[in-house]
Amino acid sequence: MQHILGAFSALDPLIALGVFIATAATDACYVAFTSAVVARRRLSAANWSSVWYMLSSFAVISYTENWVYVVFAAAGSWVGAFLSLTLLHRPGGKVAPVGSSPPD
């Protein structure tokens, strides 16, 4: 129990925020990467892939120092995926979800 309390008390709020933002951006990049792959846009997919790995490395390096940052990484990941899919698949948007029926 002392180890758990010590891990929480050693948190740096700026690092926690950075991990949250980095993983949110990472998931947004992953969604964009996947969309580019499905659309067979090679250059776009390669660009999104490199940004995705750059952002994820910050989160990994940060939470290997303290496992509690994984909580912030998971929360950021959820927010990033949710928001990017919400923005990517807006009603009236040009990009339809994979597997959806063609527009009438």
Can you tell me the distance from the alpha carbon of 70 to that of 16, in angstroms, rounded to the nearest whole number?
A: 9
Can you tell me the distance from the alpha carbon of 19 to that of 90, in angstroms, rounded to the nearest whole number?
A: 27
Model pTM above 0.85: no
- Where are the chain's structural domains? 8-88
DSSP the chain: -HHHHHHHHT--HHHHHHHHHHHHHHHHHHHHHHHHHHTT-HHHHHHHHHHHHHHHHHHHHHHHH-TTHHHHHHHHHHHHHHHHHHHHT-TT-SPPPTTPPPP-
Mean pLDDT (the chain) is: 77
pLDDT tens-digit map of 5-33: 666 677 888 888 888 888 888 888 888 88
Q: Is 83 exposed, middle or buried (0-12, 13-18, 19+ CB in 10 A)?
A: middle
pLDDT tens-digit map of 40-49: 998 988 888 8
What's the token pair of residue 71? 């909580």
